[in-house]
Amino acid sequence: MAEQNKGNQGGGDGGAGSGGAAGGTTGSSGRLESSKTHARQAADDLRTAATEIAGQYRGKAEEAWGDATARARTLQEDGEQYVRENPTKAVFSALGIGFVLGMIFRR
């Protein structure tokens, strides 16, 4: 490329310098198109890989959300059952927790 620039800047032969530039332009255009094609293919490959990975993580996230929902539901059911079996303890526990929180937030 540097040799072509020197030949074009010298301007010596008239037609010889311009012929070299035209040949370089055609080759350069072909390389540019090849690079564009390669870049598009690489972008498509990257998009495909990213879509696959996103799908895998989405599946894992949905599974984790389902597990968390099931655990929360189980915890709620266990709490309700405990309150039904031990209403006095539940009431006094709630009063104690409320008292402690009231003292903390009062300050």
Tokens at residue 68, please? 């968390």
**pLDDT at position 66 over 70:** yes
d(CA 49, CA 55): 10
Tokens at residue 92, please? 């006094």
Contacts of 11 (CB under 8 A, 6+ apart): 17
Print the domain residue range for 65.
2-106
pLDDT digits (tens, 9 = 90+) for 17-49: 444 444 456 678 888 888 889 999 999 999 999
d(CA 4, CA 18): 10
Average pLDDT over residues 69-75: 96
d(CA 107, CA 104): 6
pLDDT at 24: 52
Cα 77 to chain centroid distance, Å, stands at: 37
pLDDT digits (tens, 9 = 90+) for 82-99: 999 999 999 999 999 999
How far from 29 is each of 2, 25, 26, 49, 80, CA to CA, in Å?
17, 6, 5, 30, 75
Instruction: Please tell me the total count of domains within the chain.
Output: 1
Tokens at residue 19, please? 């012929």
